[in-house]
Amino acid sequence: MIRQFELLEMIRAYDPDVDEDLINRAYVFAMRVHGTQKRASGDPYFSHPLEVAGILTRMKLDAATIVTALLHDTVEDTLATLKEIEKHFGPEVARLVDGVTKLSRLELQSDHTREAENFRKFLLAMSEDIRVLLVKLADRLHNMRTLHHIEDAEKRRRIASETTEIYAPLAERIGLRDFKDELEDLAFAEINPEARNSVLARLEFLREQGADAAERIIAGLEKALKDAGIRAEITGREKRPYSIWLKMQRKRVPFEQLSDIMAFRVVVEDRAHCYQALGVLHGSYPVVPGRFKDYMSTPKRNGYRSLHTCVIGPGRNRIEIQIRTREMHEVAERGVAAHWAYKQSEEATRDGRKYGWLRELLQILEQAAGPEEFLEHTKLEMFQDQVFCFTPRGDLISLPRGATPVDFAYAVHSDIGDTCVGAKINGRIMPLKTQLENGDQVEIITSKAQSPSPTWEGFVVTGKARAAIRKFIRSRQMQEYVYLGRAILEKAFNEVGYEYSDKALKGVLKIFRQETPEDLIAAVGSGVITARQILVAVFPGLKDEFEAGTIGKVVTLAAVRKERDKDKGNAVPIKGLTPGMAVHYANCCHPLMGDRIVGIVTPGKGVTIHTIDCDTLESFSDMPERWLDVSWEVERADNQVGRINVTVINEPGALSALASVIAKNLGNILNLKITHRAADFFDMAIDVEVQNVKHLSNIIAALRATPAINSVERARG
């Protein structure tokens, strides 16, 4: 536990004039009111506010914030009142403590009430004074560090996911990178310990493989810069397990080499040296294209500045490099706080605005001007009821949450909605029923030959889209009636020995009060008027014959329908197909239930189902008219078989590691075939019984993290 004088020393190190008496009184007050309360760990409760205060001293925060940290749980958890706090510590501290208390109450509510309105209040409270948020984040950080002491697993999990979803993004938003990383990693350890352990094991393995690689790389970079006369401090940093895991999931790549786990940082004296160092490195090593980013000329919203690049560095290693000045480095590590600490050293003492950066930070948060910044905010607002998407031109389209590309298309223009056949979301072709997310760029693929599909009605959420689809279905229904009506009339006319033509109806329109032959035919198709009525009207002589029974039954609507529907039965569990269409599953990508899929129509052959990320689709990209938006009918309850190709290192225990990872993840190996055998590696094809594609992806990710396994791919052709 931090002792009173230790805390004071920590503050005095950056603020020699701190009001010691104030800090001491807060220390004693909090210790007294928390009394004998204990934490889940068995520690005295008071150790918690102390640790929180300690975390905040590292950010060099003012006395009011440190005092608030010491007092932050007193109103909620002890007999102390806000009035007392105000009496002893003044209105500023009281206001801050009140702010933190309110935030804490928000967490206590159930998942349900935590939604929209409360979360907005949360943000509101946050913007009242940024220090409230800083105390709250430090509070959460300490609670996460001690999370394992909580016995209730459900509660641990809830706290951890709340941390990932709300607090880590908030920390990132204000540039507290350290906070964000640590919060995410602690939450990861709780939510998915097995994945984290796998990543850690793999890290360990790679570290052993390239034990001295990092040093050699640093030495190589140092020499290159030194030869050019640039003084630089170069460090290698291992990426966090959570960010490695995210990358594995997002890009579906294994991490194979050091470059996947290490990033190198070059810290130089000033801005000019940053660009010089970049020039030297680009001149000395081959540059990996497309990876250079200049966050110096255009800093990130949270104040982050750096040059990022990737080169084939010493030892032929692909390495990521960040170049920045010392100040930029501090900001990147400690957030905007550091930036203003730098600034204030010269000016703040002058105008007395010692903690001016707090106000500045607040302004940054308040003045979110452009749509991009706005999105930065809304990214946090996970419970918001809106999504904001962009057209390829950059126009912002706002839609209700749950909206799909079809809603988007209709929001842009009803013609685009009516002729929409597919959508690219962030450059990838995705099913039309995909729910859009904040910041998605959506490009609608249209085809004049296309028309709205009735299945869309099942997933659109905007009134505009729904109305347009309904209108279309009504007119489609009309066509259907005309089609049926004509078929009925043709048969009926045939049976009495005449050939049918629409012209025959012209003379009898008035009798049936219809405007056009089409209308009359549709009336027959819908069953309002019978074929017999028409026949009798057209050939009055037939009336007697009908009555005398010399003419047999005239074909009925029901009979024609029945015939038409005979081949409608569709055993394929896919929605969006025209009944009776032949369906094939593509051999290139083996779609599984749960995969996102798309149909490609081949005239005369039917439709072939591909997974949405199948490479074969490229060749159809300029033929949107052949794309068919399809989806799986139901999540089938029974299991399916997915095939994976695995390359295993030929060493003792490798196969059993493979089998146990699959078993641990509840997969069942149905078939295993060695497809290629070499001295050092085996290639194998394995059929695994899984519940759905997500299950298979989990197994693949777990296998990739297994040291004995070199590579894992879903079988594709």
Give residues in contact with Mn ion (CB under 5 A).
73, 139
Q: Which is nearer to Mn ion, 139 or 172 (CB)?
A: 139
Catalytic option among 19, 77, 115, 480: 77
Which two three-digit tokens encode residue 222?
């140092």
Q: How far is the CB of 337 from Mn ion (least distance, A)?
A: 21
Give the nearer residue to Mn ion in terms of CB position, either 39 or 207.
Answer: 39
Q: Are 345 and 325 in contact (CB under 8 A)?
A: no
Nearest to 169 by CA among 133, 194, 221, 196: 133
DSSP string, 520-548: HHHHHHTTSS-HHHHHHHH-TTHHHHHHH
**Cα angle for residues 584, 587, 591 (degrees, 5° grid):** 75
* Element holding 585 (H helix, E strand): strand 583-585
Closest CB to Mn ion among 98 and 139? 139
Place of tokens 């069942």: 668
CB of 157 to Mn ion, least distance (A): 19
- Please identify which residue in the block is written with the tokens 């309002």: 528
Cα–Cα distance between 221 and 284 in angstroms, integer?
A: 9
Q: Residue 473: helix, strand or coil by DSSP? A: helix
Question: Smaller CB distance to Mn ion: residue 76 or 92?
Answer: 76
Minimum CB–partner distance for residue 281 and Mn ion (Å): 45
For the record, the structure tokens of 464 come out as 């505009």
The residue with tokens 């200049």 is 294
User: In terms of CB distance, is 139 or 629 closer to Mn ion?
Assistant: 139
Nearest one of 447, 314, 304, 322 to 376, comparing CA atoms: 304
Backbone angles phi, psi at 25, to 5 degrees: -65, -40
CB of 100 to Mn ion, least distance (A): 8
Instruction: Return the DSSP state at 148.
Output: G
Shortest Å, Cβ 43 to Mn ion = 13
Q: How far is the CB of 75 from Mn ion (least distance, A)?
A: 11
185 is catalytic: no
Dist. CA 183–CA 162, nearest whole Å? 10
Half-sphere exposure at residue 46, Cβ-oriented, CA atoms within 13 angstroms: 15
Q: Among this protein's residues, is 76 annotated catalytic?
A: yes
Instruction: Output the smallest distance, CB 133 to Mn ion, in A.
Output: 14
Smallest distance from Mn ion to CB 138, Å: 9
Nearest to 596 by CA among 621, 574, 622, 623: 574
* Nearest-angstrom CA–CA distance, 621 and 614: 12
CB nearer to Mn ion: pick between 114 and 466: 114
CA 716, distance to chain mean position in Å, is: 25
Dmax over CA atoms of the chain, in Å, equals 117
Q: Which of 19, 76, 128, 327 is catalytic?
A: 76
Of the pair 139, 360, the CB lying nearest Mn ion is at: 139
**Angstrom distance (rounded) from CA 343 to CA 337:** 10
> CA distances (Å), 141 to each of 125, 144, 192, 253, 304, in order?
19, 5, 18, 31, 22
Q: By C-alpha distance, which of 345, 340, 361 is closest to 133? A: 361
- Closer residue to Mn ion, CB minimum distance, 73 or 629: 73
CB of 50 to Mn ion, least distance (A): 11
Between 73 and 407, name the residue whose CB sits nearer to Mn ion: 73
Nearest to 62 by CA among 161, 142, 130: 130
**Contact assessment for residue 303 and residue 175, using Cβ atoms and an 8 Å cutoff:** yes
What's the closest the beta carbon of residue 310 comes to Mn ion, in angstroms? 41
Which residue has the closest beta carbon to Mn ion? Answer: 139
**Which SS3 state, helix, strand or coil, does residue 341 take?**
helix
Reported as half-sphere exposure (CB side, CA atoms, 13 A), residue 635 has a value of: 7
Which CB sits closer to Mn ion, 73 or 182? 73
Question: 632: part of which helix (H) or strand (E)?
Answer: strand 631-632
Sheet strands side by side (includes 307-312): 232-238, 262-268, 318-325, 307-312, 293-294
Catalytic residues, which ones? 76-77
